[in-house]
Structure 1
Amino acid sequence: MNILKNLTVYVFVFILFLFAGCSVDDHLQPVTINISGLSSLTGNWSSLGITTQAAMEIAEEDINSYFAGKGSSFRLSVTGYDTQLEAEKAVGFFNAAAGSGTRFFIGPQSSAELAALLPLTSASNSLVISQGSTAGSLAIADDPVFRFCPADKIEGAAIAQTIYEQGIRGLVTIARDDAGNKGLQTSTGSSFSTLGGTVQALTPYGTSISDFTAEIAAIKAQITAFTTTYGADKVGVYLASFDECVALFKQAAADPVLSSVRWYGGDGVALSAALIGDPDAADFAISTQFFTPTFGLPDAYKTAWEPLIARIKTKTGIDADAFGIAVYDAMWVIAKTIEASNGVPSDLNALESQFVTQANAYVGATGPTNLDTFGDRASGSFDYWGIEKVGSVYQWKLVGKSN
């Protein structure tokens, strides 16, 4: 009888231990939070899209190691969607992911895509963090959209100052017909005029055209007019574009008038693999001393961003710029938001507030990630990239920085 009683006690204790073990194991099972990336992986501006996806994957690895080391029950998981820089596709992917419970989005990278998502963000109960949108028209207070790059007013002022300091007095501007590039055309032209220069803003061209005959004729006519007034050495062309600049440059290369003046670009073509991959377009860029700004990486944080650029290049073969590195910082601000909230707040206002608090306190590979009242990067400097030919190889080269 005692043996049976003891056996019953042992079995009872074993069962308690078994259930207790299951509870502990269940408790330790990590809570996975998905971050969806909306990037152009195969379309226009794919250089940023590809480095964005790589930066998200590297951040996922680093953050999950951090969480594990602290005994946190949270983990991040990233999913990438190829929007091809098309607003309709960005909306479709956003709706599908948000409908499945995603609360955080990195991207989209263009202002046109972000503008299409804007009306959907609050109802989705999600935060959207763009790494590449610059349109001033999207600087809106108290919305769940944040931008980890400076808006076009900052970039436009910087490039206009540089163009003016190079002696240009007559500037022809033209842009792709989307919110981001038109915003850059407007802000650059406005700043250049304020400095004392003269601007002729041409009508933006369609997003799907491939024949730039009409645009080239219009640019040529204005170059000719400005040359009469100022001389060719004081005339420039500012083009805010994506990779379609390759087709435009190839056509422009056939006309000596267009090659007689300096050309400048917006950030949408900086470090473009498509541009250095086409010899005719690249030769035109070299002959016109073309350069383009990109959100700059501060030297003070080189020990943070230099290894990241190397890791991204190993994964992609592409040198990431500050827009791509800002993705890594955005992922960490998301992680800090989750950590500080012990999860993801169900209330969107609470989530926004915590995200802003963490962004304003965080110092990452791109430096301090302070946001302005519109949720955009509060400040930034710019690197200027031109193209050089080394042997038979075309490559991007850092040619200067904004003041």
Structure 2
Amino acid sequence: MAVSRSMLGVIAIVCIIVGFGIGFAARPVIAPPPPKVVEKVVEVEVKPPELEGTIYVGAIIPLTGIWGYAGENSKTAMELAKEELNEWLKMRGRKWQMEIIYEDTASDPKTALEKMKTLHGRGIKFFIGPMTSGEAKECKEYADANHIFYNAHGSTSPALSIPGDYLYRYAPDDTIQGPAIARLTYEQGVRHVIQVYIKNPWGEGLARATAEAFEKLGGKVYKELEITYPEGATDFPTEAAKLKDAVESLVAKGISLEEIGIQTMSYEEIGPLMEDAAEYDILWKVTWIGSDASALAPILIEHPVANEFARATNFICTVFAPGTARYPRMEQVKKYIEEKLGRTPDPYAYLAYDAVWTLGIALDIVGEYDPDKVIEVLPRVVKIWSYYNGASGYFELNENGDRAWADYALWAPAEEEWVRVGTWVGATDTIEWTK
């Protein structure tokens, strides 16, 4: 896409030519005539600032840990975008190129902040990542204080939707995903819900948004039965036993198993959670519902017990659905990642791709390595870029710097791969089933 760089200015130079006609006589003193003023407007080409050399961007993303597969997808997408961007800059005769420095956060908030501080100490002021809301929250105070731009493209916690800060998020926040999960749950015949979620800003925010939306539909979420677990947990025998007890308590009240659902807000630890839950027959007989961080997780295909359990409990995940652009790049990015990694990318990979391109264009427009100036032009860049070329489809940023709207794709694990089974349409709060 050719983005106009017409930054010529017209400077009005007012040349004041003052002629003093002064008459001298002994007496009286004759006042001088008024000065003659001649105005000339001269058109001058003003060259804008221009970047030169290698411009560094930090990528602090999880390359290992509970969301390592998503970080790998994003890194691959960013490398593709960087190569394309640099070629575009070269074709336009620019004197600069982008280089991305990757650091693994393992989805750990303290590690994310440490990596940001280290790279900032080397002069880096622009970041893509971190990906989780817990990490984004941990970095926020430092980033705001030091005017560091960061695009946490996988963060969705509503608690981080704050105007005027330096955090941008190309994913929609969970006040949009919550209603999608609620509608999915309700359409599956579930009226009574137990929530199990990771205790971090993302898990807490999504659980709350989902509960509020589900109860507006007429369902009931049992807050007293909810189960949480800490970040870093890898085994869940205690949580599974509590889930069994919670379901049995609802059955004892006369509620049928068909109307009981378990909503999960988990990352890739959904695999061992289901493995432990599979120990109890009653947990096979209720509906399980997932969310974006579990969608397309390889473990639910690769782990035989978790895969069987997920399929038996009709486990379906919501994850924002990339939209359409005039000349979409989604298929191009999808094919590239499939060839490199051998798997279907999660939607956050498309956001990472768009993040590199839009940041690169914004930097080129302002011609300075200045986050404040980039932020001034970024919303317009996003709107135009995504309309024509967005891999994640056309979108705009709201007043909080987040994606303003979204539909949600519904994905379910089959025996050998994840299958898209429908779409939640945000404008109408309806589900269009495909399978």
Give the TM-score normalised by structure 2: 0.82
Distance 1:65 1:268, change over 3 A: same
Distance 1:388 1:58, change over 3 A: same
Aligned counterpart, 1:197: 219
Establish whether residue 315 from structure 1 lines up as the match of residue 363 from structure 2. no
Give the TM-score normalised by structure 1: 0.88
Aligned counterpart, 2:372: 349
Write the letter of the residue equivalent to 2:295: A
How far has the Cα of 1:358 moved from its partner? Answer: 1.8
Write the letter of the residue equivalent to 2:298: A
How far has the Cα of 1:291 moved from its partner? Answer: 1.2
Q: Distance in 1 between matches of 2:178 and 2:327?
A: 25
Q: Distance in 2 between matches of 1:46 and 1:210?
A: 14
Q: Distance in 2 between matches of 1:223 and 1:74?
A: 60
Write the letter of the residue equivalent to 1:369: F
Establish whether residue 358 from structure 1 lines up as the match of residue 381 from structure 2. yes
Structure 2: runs of 5 or more not aligned: 1-49, 426-435
- Please point out which of 55, 58, 63 is paired with 2:77: 55
Give CA-to-partner distance per residue, 1:175-227, whole Å, 9 cap, x none. Answer: 01111112111111111011110001314211233332332222223322334
Contact 1:90 1:117 in 2 (8 A): yes
Aligned counterpart, 2:86: 64
Q: Distance in 1 between matches of 2:239 and 2:291?
A: 17
Contact 1:98 1:124 in 2 (8 A): no
Q: Distance in 1 between matches of 2:51 and 2:373?
A: 26
Give CA-to-partner distance per residue, 1:38-84, whole Å, 9 cap, x none. Answer: 11111111121001111111011000011111111121111111110
- Please point out which of 20, 27, 37 is paired with 2:59: 37
Establish whether residue 280 from structure 1 lines up as the match of residue 305 from structure 2. yes
Aligned counterpart, 2:400: 374
Write the letter of the residue equivalent to 2:137: A
Aligned counterpart, 1:243: 268
Contact 2:180 2:408 in 1 (8 A): yes
Please identify the structure whose Cα radius of gyration is greater: 2
Aligned counterpart, 2:169: 147
Q: Distance in 2 between matches of 1:146 and 1:225?
A: 43
Structure 1 residue runs of 4+, over 6 Å off? none
Write the letter of the residue equivalent to 1:370: E
Q: Distance in 1 between matches of 2:52 and 2:82?
A: 14
* Other structure's SS at 1:175 match: strand
Aligned counterpart, 1:8: none
Greater CA drift, 209-218 or 318-327: 209-218
Q: Distance in 2 between matches of 1:266 and 1:322?
A: 13
Contact 1:329 1:365 in 2 (8 A): yes
Q: Distance in 2 between matches of 1:210 and 1:300?
A: 40
Write the letter of the residue equivalent to 1:279: P
Distance 1:71 1:54, change over 3 A: same
Q: Distance in 1 between matches of 2:407 and 2:55?
A: 33
Write the letter of the residue equivalent to 1:217: A
Q: Distance in 2 between matches of 1:85 and 1:301?
A: 34
Aligned counterpart, 1:385: 411
Aligned counterpart, 2:95: 73
The CA RMSD measured in Å over matched residues stands at 1.9
Contact 2:51 2:364 in 1 (8 A): no
Q: Distance in 2 between matches of 1:194 and 1:263?
A: 20
Write the letter of the residue equivalent to 2:410: Y
Distance 1:108 1:397, change over 3 A: same
Q: Distance in 2 between matches of 1:315 and 1:302?
A: 23
Write the letter of the residue equivalent to 1:349: D
Q: Distance in 1 between matches of 2:126 and 2:395?
A: 17
Higher share in helix: 1
User: Percent identity between the aligned chains?
Assistant: 28
Q: Distance in 1 between matches of 2:146 and 2:383?
A: 24
